[in-house]
Structure 1
Amino acid sequence: MVATNEFSANIELQHIYLEAYSERYHSLRQYFEAYYCYRHNLVTRQGKPDWLQIFHFARPSMKASACKTRKETVRELALPLSVITGKLKALVRDEELTVEAIAEILDEHLEYVILSRFEWQKLCQLGFEDRMPPSFFQPSDPGYQDVMIRFSLAGIEF
């Protein structure tokens, strides 16, 4: 099964490569999620990616850990989709897009966390549902490249 998952993960990487190469970034989320599921063996008995298993696999916040049902929680990328997509756009711009480069970016940056719905609403109120705060991009700031900075600013603890 592991070999099958590796094969399927590689197919997802090739999908991502084709979409990024064609500059069709709008559909990357589904391929990222499938890649993540295959990489972490989060699959159904039929070998299909199972996004529901992300809720049990990903790191929950303190408040999400206290939630009684899955419906009270939200799965969220630790680094927003827009930031990961931006990294792929830079590869395309610099003519360095390869399947291997995509795998390196995703293996380093594609991580899910589980939040309570209240915490997700707090992120949205601060405008961090799909972007990082400016401090993430400023080398002189203590929050520079801190993947968890948007959660910290929203008062979300892990």
Structure 2
Amino acid sequence: MKDLNAYHANLELQHIYLETCAERFQYLELYLEGYYCYRHQCVTRQGKADWTQIFTHAERSMAASQVVDHKQLVRLFRLPRSVLTGKLKTLVRDNELTLSRLEQCLDEHLDYVILTRQEWQQLKAAGFENRMPADYYRPDSASYQQAMSRFQALGITFPA
């Protein structure tokens, strides 16, 4: 089964590569989710990507750890999709996009977190649903390139 999951993950990676090369970034989310699911064995018994398993696989906030009902939880990319897309655009711009560089980038930056609906509303209200805090981009900041900085800025904590 692992070999089949690796095969499917590679197919999703190739889709992401083609869409990135064509600079059609608006279509990436579906492929990113599929890649993540196959990469982390979040699949059904029939071998299909199963996004619901992300709820059991992804890291939960401290508050989300206390919630059992999936309907009270929200799954989000650890980095907003726009930031992840920006990293892919940089690979294209710098003419460094290869399958291996893409895979390295995704394995390093593509991850999910689980929040409560209240935490998600807090994130939206602060404007961090689709962007990172300014300190994420400042090399002299302690939050520079720290994927968790948007959650830390709002006091949303995760187990150590």
Structure 2: distance between partners of 1:114 and 1:24: 27
Task: Kindly indicate whether residue 20 of structure 2 is the aligned counterpart of residue 20 of structure 1.
Answer: yes
5+ residue gaps in structure 2?
none
5+ residue gaps in structure 1?
none
Structure 1 runs of 4+ off > 6 angstroms?
A: none
Structure 2: distance between partners of 1:13 and 1:111: 15
Structure 1: distance between partners of 2:150 and 2:157: 11
Percent identity over paired residues: 55
**Secondary structure of 1:131's aligned partner:** coil
Alignment partner, residue 134 of structure 1: 134
| Alignment deviations for residues 73-127 of structure 1 (CA, whole Å, 9 cap, x no partner) | 0001111111111111011111111111110001001111100000000000000
Structure 2: distance between partners of 1:100 and 1:85: 17
Q: CA deviation at 1:68?
A: 3.2
Task: Kindly indicate whether residue 37 of structure 2 is the aligned counterpart of residue 58 of structure 1.
Answer: no
CA RMSD of aligned residues (A): 0.7
After TM superposition, the score normalised by the length of structure 1 is 0.98
The letter of the residue matching 2:40 is H
After TM superposition, the score normalised by the length of structure 2 is 0.97
Alignment partner, residue 32 of structure 1: 32
Alignment partner, residue 43 of structure 1: 43
Q: CA deviation at 1:138?
A: 0.3
Structure 2: distance between partners of 1:154 and 1:33: 26
